[in-house]
């Protein structure tokens, strides 16, 4: 929604979406209230219905059956554990084979110790006693281990018998609970129940509210579709605007470059004009036309006076001084021609290059497309075309 705020023409649609969503929220609240009323009515009906004690009894029996099922699983888990620990313990003999006992071993060990204390023993006899003692102790250890193993097996068999007896009891109780459950269900079938008209009314109201919600959601979808359409149009406009701005920027750059080159060209042409010797010729021609007596005083127009001053030659005050001034002008002209002829050629070449560059830039300028971009038509009425 935040990204849509900058799209022209979408505000009315966004405002209506907010209003519609607010209305949706209110409808959800109303539906929730009616659902709570339905639950409360159902609870009250259940408490006051002839079905209530049967439902309570069925719930109790179902829970009892669930507890018995859990107990049955525990018994089978313990039996599986006995099998994993002791293997096929039911077929293993209870008592170990052989007549030797730990008591007889203890007695023999005691007698050996007494014999070794009473009678002197040589090395061979002492070695014989040590070997026998070692053998008796090993037999005692093995016998005790065998006895412990068989005792564990005996206890496992006793536990197995108890578990089997408990399982038989559990199965009997489960059969009884299942029979009781079926009996309660049969009793419930005999009781006719009708839906409370209050609940029917509440459900009708909820259906109407859900229908309103569906209509509102359709309106929201239409407004969102309009916004999406405007976004597509606006994105297209922004893309065209970006392209047009790029062309305009390029156009300005080219125009600025052309103006800069035109200015350089004008400056060079001005400099080239100043390199023209005809300015000397025009003044000389004007002076040569002046005739009269040698001592006759003369005056000149202001532009001639300024030119003579610029050329730094003597300004004649009489007709007789004109020839000297003309001579000075011819010398100045020759010096000027010698110094500017190279520069004049350089300026001509540079001006030609600038003219060529200006032509190229103008050709580039002519190739740039002229684009007119317009904002998308602003549709301000939600749902209109």
- State CA 253 to chain mean position distance: 40
Confidence band of 3 (pLDDT split at 50, 70, 90): low
pLDDT in tens, 332-366: 888 777 777 777 778 888 989 989 999 998 898 88
pLDDT in tens, 44-55: 877 777 777 888
What token pair was written down for 298? 């003369």
Q: Residue 191 has what DSSP assignment?
A: S
Would you state the pLDDT for residue 1? 47
Cα 65 from Cα 178, distance rounded (Å): 8
Lowest mean pLDDT among 21-35, 158-172, 316-330: 316-330
Neighbours of 140 (CB within 10 A): 17
Distances (CA, A) of 102 to 106, 128, 130, 136: 6, 21, 19, 9
Q: Which of 195, 155, 143, 179 is nearest to 38 (CA)?
A: 195
Lowest mean pLDDT among 22-36, 79-93, 299-313: 79-93
Let me know if 75 is exposed, middle or buried by CB neighbors in 10 A (0-12, 13-18, 19+).
Answer: middle
* 237-243 long-range Cβ contacts below 8 angstroms, 24+ apart: 237/373, 237/374, 237/375, 237/376, 240/371, 240/373, 241/373, 243/371
Distances (CA, A) of 58 to 49, 174, 178: 15, 14, 10
| Burial track 160-187 (b if 16+ CB lie within 10 A, e otherwise) | beebeeeeeebeebbeebeebbeebeee
Output the pTM of the full model.
0.43
Q: Which residue has the higher pLDDT, 285 or 224?
A: 224
Would you state the pLDDT for residue 357? 92
SS3 297: strand
Q: Which residue has the higher pLDDT, 172 or 375?
A: 172
pLDDT in tens, 158-191: 888 898 899 999 999 999 999 999 988 888 887 7
Residue whose pair of structure tokens reads 């170990």 in the numeric block:
96
Q: Specify which residues 365 forms β-bridges with.
A: none
What token pair was written down for 64? 């009892």
Q: Which of 229, 228, 235 is nearest to 373 (CA)?
A: 235
Distances (CA, A) of 211 to 20, 21, 24, 89: 14, 15, 11, 70
């Amino acid at each position: 929604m935040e990204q849509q705020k900058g799209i022209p023409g979408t505000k009315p649609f966004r405002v209506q979406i907010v209003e519609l969503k607010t209305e949706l929220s209110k409808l959800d609240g109303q539906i929730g209230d009616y659902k709570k009323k339905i639950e409360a009515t159902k609870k009250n009906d259940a408490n006051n219905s002839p079905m209530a004690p049967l439902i309570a009894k069925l719930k109790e029996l179902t829970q009892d059956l669930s507890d018995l099922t859990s107990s049955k699983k525990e018994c089978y888990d313990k039996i599986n554990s006995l099998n994993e620990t002791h293997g096929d313990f039911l077929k293993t003999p209870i008592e170990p084979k052989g007549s030797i006992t730990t008591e007889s071993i203890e007695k023999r060990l005691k007698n050996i110790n007494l014999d070794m204390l009473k009678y002197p023993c040589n090395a061979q006899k002492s070695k014989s006693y040590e070997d026998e003692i070692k053998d008796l102790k090993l037999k005692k250890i093995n016998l005790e281990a065998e006895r412990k193993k068989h005792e564990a097996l005996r206890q496992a068999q006793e536990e197995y018998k108890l578990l089997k007896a408990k399982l038989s009891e559990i199965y009997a109780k489960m059969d009884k609970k299942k029979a009781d459950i079926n009996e309660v269900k049969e009793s419930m079938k005999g009781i006719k129940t009708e839906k409370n008209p209050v609940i029917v009314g509440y459900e009708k109201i909820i259906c109407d509210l859900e229908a309103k919600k569906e209509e509102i959601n359709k309106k929201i979808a239409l407004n969102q579709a309009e916004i999406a359409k405007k976004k597509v149009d606006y994105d297209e406009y922004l893309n065209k605007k970006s392209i047009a701005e790029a062309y305009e920027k390029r156009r300005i750059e080219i125009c600025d470059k052309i103006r800069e080159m035109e200015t350089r060209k004008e400056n060079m042409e001005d400099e080239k004009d100043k390199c023209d010797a005809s300015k000397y010729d025009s003044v000389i021609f004007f002076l040569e036309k002046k005739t009269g007596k040698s001592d006759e005083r003369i005056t000149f127009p202001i532009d001639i006076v300024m030119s003579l001053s610029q050329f730094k030659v003597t300004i004649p005050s009489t007709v007789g001084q004109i020839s000297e001034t003309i001579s000075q002008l011819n010398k100045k002209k020759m010096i000027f021609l010698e110094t500017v002829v190279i520069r004049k050629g350089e300026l001509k070449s540079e001006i030609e290059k600038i003219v060529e560059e200006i032509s190229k830039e103008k050709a580039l300028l002519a190739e740039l497309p002229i684009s007119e971009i317009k904002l998308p038509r602003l549709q301000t009425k939600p749902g209109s075309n």
